Structure 1
């Protein structure tokens, strides 16, 4: 990062873009390490857990508390947001790059766009302005600053350029777009993702203990589910075992097969919903969850809404929607941890043990 201060002297916009993305990635990575190797705010014991590397050529940094790490993460993200904003939000050409057909597809489907420099293309695979905002929403939600989490999440939800940058996928596209990538704010790419996933799909040659089998009861589904497209369209079965079809071959189009979802639009609804419920805006909070469910084909939500009677049942309902909507994306664990919900038949330890080589100093 420090070398950029003397680079790109003739193009401050490009310099700030790269610098901002670097700050954002540093924060993103440290935040995920914090969520894995330290307790949640609800269980915080004020001990030190992980270091934060923000000095050049550093080989050692002291372990910090949860609050200290969160402050450093927020500082980096706020700095990143200001640096990247000028590129992504100020002129029509760059703003259009955040639309799905450019952000994710790179103009391939429309065949109307061929970027002069691929470095500026595919903003969905980079820490774009809204990816930084969405990460801030995550961080504020984790730290208990629900008002700030709500503000960041709503800026993503309300983002528009003629139409929403990020919009819920229509049912007509479900079969050919299992990633629902019009909803993805930030993604990574893995070219061998489908092949790597195949070895975990239940089959005659795979042992059940090594496969990704879904516990329908735990998530809140039954075999007779017919309304929820997340069940009827995005799961597959083998010998009565259900597994996610999200990372299998796409039907009718290869676009998106390499995509690893990192932040999805529905997560912003979940974050906003928590703030609303815990600030006595119950109907608005539930409506946020209903909006997600409606866009998954669930038209009758009366039994769902009546099941939410207090904060505990709200958290249970919210987690159930997280499990269904972010299935296979690695985020449900962090919601269990945030709410300190026991989701196993045995007691759950949410803090991963620190690797031995991190304790050599």
Structure 2
């Protein structure tokens, strides 16, 4: 065994030496940086991450809003929070390994950008890319915390997620949620500072640089960094920061709520001419991503897989209802948020396929929840949730609304607004809710055991001593 180990190590060292040469070559020109940064975004759209599991196929069944096919045993067990069987373990392993692989890639780019002293880029571009990679790494780490650590409100000392910022072969140190999230907020503050005076979404600038000219809502832009800071701050109970960051996004006027005529346009025969089911004007940050379309088509748009249990959470006139839900030929409800024709000739009818990552509506909900918990932050309670309701075409709350009724209204908005995005499970976990709506929105609930909110670490992590 010792001889075999030495032989394996020798091969590994050979590969590492060659890889180091390749890395030096890769970053010899600006294009190497552009390709590496873009690669991190592309890998985020993997079916094991935000092109499938995190946004849709793994987290959505855990919300209680879907009826999973009885013929799909592995999904039925997963939806019942059975994480111990081999199929569920594979989901968790794939998710963990793919996320850390992409964090490793981000670490490499960050290291190279921090030490790059040549004049390879137009002024400010290096800083923009560095900020984006810091923020993207923070986005991934935060979701690892939300999946693999216990709810922050229950145990801020939970430490199942290793923190690793290098790209060498060392194992990362397992930090507590409190410590790790504080580090993420610090890195996001750095990213925010780097972007504030350079990001074209904030500062009008003419640029010949191909990277900066890319659609900034498809990159981790300045306001996306603010939005992520708002999300993390709310998770840790820092309501003042959550409110300030959310308000920055809302007040920027760079994003707006979609209107009903923009969602769908049909001809006199009912044939779809144009459709915008992902509500692109509201997206603070979205991943260009074809995989989410394939995942949705496989699991949510057919006749036999995950079916939306009921449309009852949506009030009459809610523009999200017909945009996101549709009865199929078996009179069952499909989630059609990502639906689009598979014909190349029809591509003009839709915005580019993408996964919503940070949205304007969430900033309104974060601001409202922050004010609910810290009334001194804003003298106009209910203004944020009512603005959201008004733009969705549904009744607003009146001034006499109690705290309990407001919490119910916030929960309902998370159920309604985050269909197919994975965020409802995280909302339930943040509040450590032991009972949640069963999908019918008629007062009936299902129980969620505390352990269901925390994915077990992959066996390999424990077997190899981390």
TM-score by length of 2: 0.65
Distance 1:60 1:291 in 2: 47
Q: Which residue of 2 aligns with 1:30?
A: 141
The answer to whether residue 430 in structure 2 is matched with residue 330 in structure 1 is no
Distance 2:291 2:165 in 1: 32
Larger Rg: 2
Q: Which residue of 1 aligns with 2:64?
A: none
Find 2:162's aligned residue among 35, 41, 51.
51
Find 2:373's aligned residue among 265, 269, 278.
278
Distance 2:317 2:222 in 1: 35
Contact 1:194–1:257 (8 Å) recurs in 2: no
Change (3 A) 1:202 1:81: closer
Q: Which residue of 2 aligns with 1:169?
A: 258
Aligned length, in residue pairs: 325
Find 2:199's aligned residue among 88, 95, 101.
88
Find 2:182's aligned residue among 63, 66, 71.
71
Secondary structure in 1 matching 2:284: strand
Q: Which residue of 2 aligns with 1:236?
A: 326
Q: Which residue of 2 aligns with 1:110?
A: none
Change (3 A) 1:118 1:80: closer
Greater relative contact order, per chain length (Cα 8 Å cut-off, separation 6+):
2
Q: Which residue of 1 aligns with 2:28?
A: none
What is the aligned-residue RMSD (CA, Å)? 2.5
Secondary structure in 2 matching 1:2: helix
Q: Which residue of 1 aligns with 2:293?
A: 194
Change (3 A) 1:258 1:321: same
Distance 1:6 1:75 in 2: 20
Distance 2:291 2:141 in 1: 26
Deviates most, 54-63 or 184-193: 54-63
Contact 2:227–2:246 (8 Å) recurs in 1: yes
Secondary structure in 1 matching 2:163: coil
Q: Which residue of 2 aligns with 1:346?
A: 447
Secondary structure in 2 matching 1:199: helix
Distance 2:458 2:358 in 1: 27
Summarize the alignment of residues 120-159 of structure 1 with structure 2, pairs less than 5 Å apart: 120-159=213-252
Find 1:320's aligned residue among 396, 412, 425.
412
Change (3 A) 1:45 1:133: closer
Contact 2:224–2:284 (8 Å) recurs in 1: yes
Distance 1:87 1:229 in 2: 37
Secondary structure in 2 matching 1:284: coil
Distance 1:306 1:245 in 2: 35
Deviations 1:268-310 (A, max 9, x none): 0000001111223698342211111111112x33xx4479422
Q: Which residue of 1 aligns with 2:20?
A: none
Instruction: Give structure 2 stretches of 5+ with no counterpart.
Output: 1-109, 265-274, 439-445
Secondary structure in 1 matching 2:181: helix
The answer to whether residue 337 in structure 2 is matched with residue 246 in structure 1 is yes
Deviations 1:177-227 (A, max 9, x none): 111101101111222433432222354xx42xx22424435xx34xxx431
Secondary structure in 2 matching 1:43: coil
Summarize the alignment of residues 247-326 of structure 1 with structure 2, pairs less than 5 Å apart: 247-249=338-340, 253-280=348-375, 284-298=380-394, 300-301=395-396, 304-305=397-398, 308-310=401-403, 312-326=404-418
Deviations 1:292-339 (A, max 9, x none): 1111112x33xx4479422x3322210110111121111111111111
Contact 1:274–1:285 (8 Å) recurs in 2: no
Distance 1:307 1:317 in 2: 14
The answer to whether residue 282 in structure 2 is matched with residue 178 in structure 1 is no
Instruction: Give structure 1 stretches of 5+ with no counterpart.
Output: 98-114
Q: Which runs of 4+ in 1 moved over 6 A?
A: none
